[in-house]
Amino acid sequence: MAKGFYISKNMGLAGLLMGAVAGVVIIALAAVYDKEKTKNQNKPVDGVTTVSPTTSSTLSTPKNPWEYYRLPDSLSPVSYNITLWPRLVVNASTGLYIFTGQSDVVFRCEKETDLILIHCNKLNLTLLSGHRVRLTGLDGATAPNVISSWLQVKTEYLVIQLKGKLAAGKSYRLSTDFQGELADDLKGFYRSEYTEDGVKKVVATSQMQATFARKAFPCFDEPAMKAVFHVTLIHQRGTVALSNGRDVETVNTTIDGAEVTKTRFEPTKRMSTYLLAFIVSDFAHITGSIENNNVLVRIWARRKAIAEGHGYYALNVTGPMLQFYEGYYNASYPLSKSDQIALPDFSAGAMENWGLITYRETALLYDPASSSVGNKETVLTVVAHELAHMWFGNLVTLRWWNDLWLNEGFASYVEYLGADYAEPTWNIKELIILYEVHKVFAVDALASSHPLSRKEEEVNRPDEISEMFNTISYSKGAAVLRMLSDFLTEPVFARGLSSYLNEFAFNNTVYSDLWDHLQKAVLTTPGMSLPHTVHDIMNRWILQMGFPVVTIDTATGHITQKHFLLDPDSVVDRPSPYNYTWMVPIKWMKGGVEREQHWLLQETDRHVPMTTAGSEWVLANLNVSGYYRVNYDTDNWERLINQLTADHTVIPLINRAQIVDDAFNLARAKVINTTLALRTTRYLSQERDYIPWESAIRNLNYYILMFDRGQVYGMLQAYLKMQVSPLFDYFRTVTADWTRVPTGHNDQYNQINAISFACRMGVERCRVLTSVWFREWMLNPDHNPIHPNLKTTVYCNAIAAGGVEEWDFAWTMFKNATVATEAAKLRSALACTKVPWLLNRYLDYSLDPAKIRKQDCTSTISYIAHNVVGMPLAWDFIRARWSYIYTEYGGGSFSFSNLINGVTRRFSTEFELKQLKQFKEDNAGVGFGSGTLALEQAMEKTAANIKWVAENQEQVMNWFSNECT
Ligand SMILES: *[C@@H]1O[C@H](CO)[C@@H](O)[C@H](O)[C@H]1NC(C)=O
Ligand SMILES: *[C@@H]1O[C@H](CO)[C@@H](O)[C@H](O)[C@H]1NC(C)=O
Ligand SMILES: *[C@@H]1O[C@H](CO)[C@@H](O)[C@H](O)[C@H]1NC(C)=O
Ligand SMILES: *[C@@H]1O[C@H](CO)[C@@H](O)[C@H](O)[C@H]1NC(C)=O
Ligand SMILES: [Zn+2]
């Protein structure tokens, strides 16, 4: 589905702490509009990300078919003729924005029945000769009379009871006329508003996934109910109408006295309702095409954005990526056109409607003048993800939402291949480790996690369906498919995939259909053998939650696996059909040479050749192609740490990041000592690559949060300052004293990390650098000398080092900002000041809608709370004003959980726990709305933090102080 909001990756640590808050804010949005992944968040060491408990339908066996959420199998749609007319001005009689429509659906009766159930939600149906519908028999069939029809609100059906029976094998046409609200609720057919050149403009657009097509017209709204759609849109003269197919006829006409244009589209291919799209706007576009192909490729956006050239990057990469996918899937692009459109205020992120993909602006538009490398990468990867769905998901669709993980996991894996093809110099495939694998390790290591795959009967209600759109589905899906493709090899994987897509084109599948085709590809590959079938191996990864930690004893050659749990005291009460053991492909090396892959098929293997002595180390899970963590005997850990210090480049890049991440997480789980984990960071003073640094910073972030108010912090800072200074100086040199942009894609990210981490750890040269740049800008506000990549961190550090003058300047720039990303960078940076009265004033501003937009209120408070000086101020602030905040911002707001998470992230003392309990008691009458669960979790996490600090503080302190002397 739609991609979630992305956190730009160019923020570095100071920003990263904030990014975390922003990330969480967005996750909550995501929970509602569904959506997917946020990059650079869910710090693995925090273990704070929880997966909402899955509620199963507790249907007490309803009596009537219309009380079930799933359609009966008596009818199947063949084609629809839909005409929709959205009004982009308020309707005088209802005071609402509305749309009207007509729909004819032709369906075939599969089993004799006297009942028609069709999805219909929030539509007012016009009576047609006394009934809500008109039923016509086709090809000589006679339609029975309608006895009664009603709307079953809970299950979202239009129910039609017939006098006689529909005959199996016959076809019928059901006609409806209806009126709906074109609300600004982002669901179904809805409206989006924006201002251009001082003029308010309204766009009619749509978001059907997962269950909102029924809000646009009555339809059989399940993914397996594929049909052909003939769409006509009626719209105001001078506007453009778009839908899934190419427009084939546009006429100007007058309807009920209104001068309108009528646009008819070519019939779609056989497709699911959730992939439909209808858009009316006055947008402009640019055009391209796929080479040697008739496919029309267009990028649409606000006129101004197109005029300023912001669509070109997406256009430039779309053609090559479509070509890449055609080759990869061995199937040509199934449609005659590919439109991609950027919508202002599109909360979903992006949505893979077939032939008309919708995006939020930041995911499609790229402005070379003001965007950072992270902004550009977001466009690249989101486009790659959505285009991957054109085949996987759209051409071949999973039968039901319980298999959503395969659709989304697949697109989340393949997007890296598509992106890599379009930007081959970026090494983007490596980043999957940070963005997907580490991210989901954090969630999947909790006892509250859940398996990738659910049973079809467990997912029924719309809220159960939207629950499927979570990190597990996207990122774990991507991680296990990457592992699968690695042990099959990419060519075999692609061959199985292509045979699957060709066999099931325009139809529906279940996940085992893909296993069948991959297994077939294995059997037809000469010399290829697996210890078990694809089914046997993969079902262990998708039918049980979590993942193993593989422990290798290099003295004995015994290896064992165990379900990895971040909290060793947590209780797993979810049974597993495989007793929490997996079939684990282990790629490994000894003495710097890759050895033959080993399959760990049971709990323990004895006398595996992974033995070593002397200084020769064993390293397993090369490139982290497997979805598991690795632990070693102490001697081998020592060897690896010694190798890192002696010459880290001998160890593959991704594994350097992994050694750090495994060690910190194993320490959190009390499998190894905290000091052993800390020692994996010693070599960082020589590390120049982004991925290991980013992995370390994310892990150290927990230590920073736990200790930045206490005596440990001085030592911690001194140590990390020592470690990061060489990186800072390295970038000063390679950028010729900060005058050039590093050439490598990941080097650009690492430059951001170098500056933000160095400034944070008190490197004086860094403070001077950022303050001088900012000053230059203050002296000449029309000419910002700060490179877009570095803005977030430079603004933040300059404001932190400065006073009221810097703050007021940034505030003015924020108020004047015309580009959304620029305003966002300033808004987060304003929270970086260390001056208490400025922070308090900013807190007051956050509740003044004239100063901070209402939607940004809670994230602004969270930004302030992430500043160590701001945290107690923000906590006092929300305690004092809770009932006001709750009434003003609580209604339907999803960001309360993030506010509570943000403010309590550092909590690690008994006193804070007491305050939390008091807060809960004092405001029991007011309530906590969407923050209720977060408050409970905050108390739990605070208790866990208290424990962790008590157990680790002393040794951490001693370790840092030894390192610094
Ligand atoms: C649907 O519209 C198409 C094109 O306008 C027309 O050819 C077809 O007969 C219509 N089908 C139904 C069932 O109304
Ligand atoms: C639908 O009907 C209800 C009840 O009469 C009315 O309140 C609502 O405004 C109508 N909606 C539209 C979009 O016409
Ligand atoms: C319809 O009217 C619009 C605006 O009046 C005009 O720009 C357009 O060319 C007309 N289209 C056709 C097909 O006549
Ligand atoms: C798009 O491609 C053209 C031609 O290669 C190039 O000149 C232009 O800079 C590219 N634009 C962007 C934004 O990448
Ligand atoms: Zn998707």
Q: Residue 286 CA: which ligand is closest?
A: 4
**CA of residue 419 to ligand 5 center, whole Å:** 15
Q: How far apart are the C-alpha atoms of 340 and 346, rounded to whole Å?
A: 13
Nearest to 209 by CA among 405, 431, 489, 404: 404
Q: How far apart are the C-alpha atoms of 88 and 856, rounded to whole Å?
A: 27
Q: Which of 299, 313, 317, 376 to mutate to test the pocket of ligand 4 (most atoms within 8 A of CB)?
A: 313
Give Dmax (Cα) for the chain. Answer: 94
563 is in an annotated binding site: no
User: Which atom of ligand 3 lies nearest, measured to the CA of 252?
Assistant: 1
87-123 per-position pLDDT tens digit: 999 998 889 999 999 999 999 999 999 999 999 999 9
Q: Do domains 547-680 and 841-964 have the same CATH topology?
A: no
> Lowest mean pLDDT: which of 183-197, 364-378, 583-597, 880-894?
880-894
418-456 per-position pLDDT tens digit: 999 999 999 999 999 999 999 999 989 988 899 999 999
Secondary-structure class of domain 547-680 per CATH: mainly beta
389 is in an annotated binding site: yes
641-666 per-position pLDDT tens digit: 999 999 999 999 999 999 999 999 99
Band of the pLDDT at 348, cuts 50, 70, 90?
A: low
Which residue's CA is the closest to the ligand 3 atom numbered 7? 238
> Lowest mean pLDDT: which of 56-60, 76-80, 366-370, 760-764?
56-60
Q: Which of 248, 250, 252, 254 to mutate to test the pocket of ligand 3 (most atoms within 8 A of CB)?
A: 252
Band of the pLDDT at 937, cuts 50, 70, 90?
A: confident
Q: Which of 247, 261, 263, 282 to mutate to test the pocket of ligand 3 (most atoms within 8 A of CB)?
A: 261
881-909 per-position pLDDT tens digit: 999 988 887 655 457 888 899 999 999 99
**CA of residue 309 to ligand 4 center, whole Å:** 10
Q: Residue 4 CA: which ligand is closest?
A: 5
Active-site residue flag, 386: yes
**CA of residue 412 to ligand 5 center, whole Å:** 7
Which residue's CA is the closest to the ligand 2 atom numbered 9? 94
pLDDT, greater one: 803 or 34? 803
Q: What are phi and psi of 41, to 5 degrees?
A: -155, -170
**CA of residue 235 to ligand 2 center, whole Å:** 22
> Lowest mean pLDDT: which of 33-37, 677-681, 775-779, 813-817?
33-37
Q: Residue 104 CA: which ligand is closest?
A: 1
- The fold of 68-282 is Immunoglobulin-like (2.60.40)
Q: What is the structure's pLDDT at 198?
A: 87
Q: How far apart are the C-alpha atoms of 548 and 621, rounded to whole Å?
A: 12
Q: What percent of the chain has pLDDT over 70?
A: 93
Task: Indicate whether 12 pLDDT > 80.
Answer: no
Who's near 613: CB < 8 A, 6+ residues apart? 554, 555
Q: Give me 544's structure tokens.
A: 């049980």
Q: Where are the beta strands (DSSP E) in 500-591?
A: 508-509, 548-553, 558-563, 584-586, 588-590
745 is in an annotated binding site: no
Q: What are phi and psi of 546, to 5 degrees?
A: 75, -170
Which residue's CA is the closest to the ligand 4 atom numbered 3? 316
Residue 924 burial by Cβ neighbours in a 10 Å radius (0-12, 13-18, 19+)? exposed
The catalytically annotated residue of 181, 266, 377, 386 is: 386
Residues flanking ligand 3, CB < 6 Å: 237-238, 250-252, 261
Domain ranges of the chain: 68-282, 547-680, 712-833, 841-964
260-293 per-position pLDDT tens digit: 999 999 999 999 999 999 999 999 999 987 666 7
What average pLDDT does range 702-716 have in this prediction?
94
- 188 C-beta closer than 6 A to ligand 2: no
Which residue's CA is the closest to the ligand 4 atom numbered 1? 316
- Of the candidate CATH numbers 3.20.20.80, 1.10.150.120, 3.30.300.30, 1.25.50.20, the domain formed by 712-833 belongs to 1.25.50.20
Q: How far apart are the C-alpha atoms of 810 and 795, rounded to whole Å?
A: 8
Residue 72 DSSP code = P
Task: Indicate whether 126 pLDDT > 70.
Answer: yes
Q: What is the structure's pLDDT at 369?
A: 85
- 106 C-beta closer than 6 A to ligand 1: yes
Q: What percent of the chain has pLDDT over 90?
A: 81
Q: What are phi and psi of 118, to 5 degrees?
A: -140, 140
Q: Residue 236 CA: which ligand is closest?
A: 3
**pTM (predicted TM-score):** 0.91
Query: For tokens 């055609």, what's the residue?
Result: 326
Average pLDDT over the chain, rounded to an integer = 91
Helix (H) or strand (E) holding 389: helix 373-389
Residue 104 DSSP code = E
Q: Give me 494's structure tokens.
A: 């692609």
Residues flanking ligand 4, CB < 6 Å: 312-313, 316, 366, 368
Q: Could you confirm whether domain 841-964 is CATH 1.25.50.20?
A: yes
Query: For tokens 């992120």, what's the residue?
Result: 349
User: Which atom of ligand 3 lies nearest, measured to the CA of 261?
Assistant: 1
